Structure 1
């Protein structure tokens, strides 16, 4: 079961024409991302939001309604401490227990980082209208042939070969 504070921001984005976006982080994944950021330096809520936005190359900005309940959970689990500073801001620091939990979940964090990087590349590509059209066309054809069609193993093998050759052609461009 997912928790609302773990879901990606579903608000329409001016560059994407609105509509519901796929979640960027699955259940519990945002916690790991936050702990990873905090493992490098203590932070504040707004700075965490900006750090996640930078991590995703601007393709995802978590709202305060996503960040703060996650921070409350991490504090309840003794994975972080939140202390009010003289300025009234709240300084967030990872605890030794949080460092241990992060270390135990390094492999999952690596998978999250790889997925975020792959999605960020797609986000950058889609800024070009012709590339967006070509990628959308490619996805539509694949969906029609593979997911909705009655496809044989031989046809699937041919499709995979075409994709692999296209990737090789692109990688060898001057």
Structure 2
């Protein structure tokens, strides 16, 4: 995500934090303790440059290698954005107490059945079928 943001415009750490917060509609704001070590890693990998400006602010820009990496991983970035959008929908749904209860119940039952029990291939197929049918039924609501 950071490289994608930087591909549109060089930035500073605080601006990156705000850009990520905007992408998540305010639901996630990375702390400086997350952003700056990540930027150091990206710089070590040669994907970004960090230059100190007058006044001590650090200007962060994507490198040619960073742009190439971003282009090569464009499909992966699309998957991340899709997952982020899906999580935002889930976050909005959880504002309704009844929906929150229903979703938590679903997650608990799914965890109990799938993660804490050994399911046969047939049972797993049944669980997947139930989820697919529920999704279809919800999609067909007026």
Q: Same fold (TM over 0.5)?
A: yes
Aligned residues: 142
Normalising to structure 1: TM-score of the pair? Answer: 0.71
Measure, in 2, the Cα distance between the counterparts of 1:76 and 1:161. 46
Q: Which position in structure 2 is the counterpart of 1:70?
A: 38
- Is structure 2 residue 23 aligned with structure 1 residue 55? yes
- Is structure 2 residue 75 aligned with structure 1 residue 107? yes
- Is structure 2 residue 99 aligned with structure 1 residue 131? yes
| Partner secondary structure for residue 11 of structure 2 | coil
| Partner secondary structure for residue 82 of structure 1 | strand
Q: Which position in structure 2 is the counterpart of 1:90?
A: 58
Alignment of 1:141-152 (within 5 A): 141-152=109-120
* Deviation by residue 1:109-138 (Cα, 9 ceiling, x = unmatched): 222222222222222221222111100101
- Is structure 2 residue 29 aligned with structure 1 residue 42? no
| Partner secondary structure for residue 91 of structure 1 | strand
Q: CA RMSD in A?
A: 2.0
Q: Which position in structure 2 is the counterpart of 1:140?
A: 108
Q: Which position in structure 1 is the counterpart of 2:139?
A: 171
Normalising to structure 2: TM-score of the pair? Answer: 0.85
What 5-or-longer segments of structure 1 have no aligned partner? 1-32
Measure, in 2, the Cα distance between the counterparts of 1:40 and 1:100. 14
Q: Which has the higher helix share?
A: 2
* Deviation by residue 1:61-103 (Cα, 9 ceiling, x = unmatched): 2110111111122223332222233344222111112111211
| Partner secondary structure for residue 81 of structure 1 | strand
What 5-or-longer segments of structure 2 have no aligned partner? none
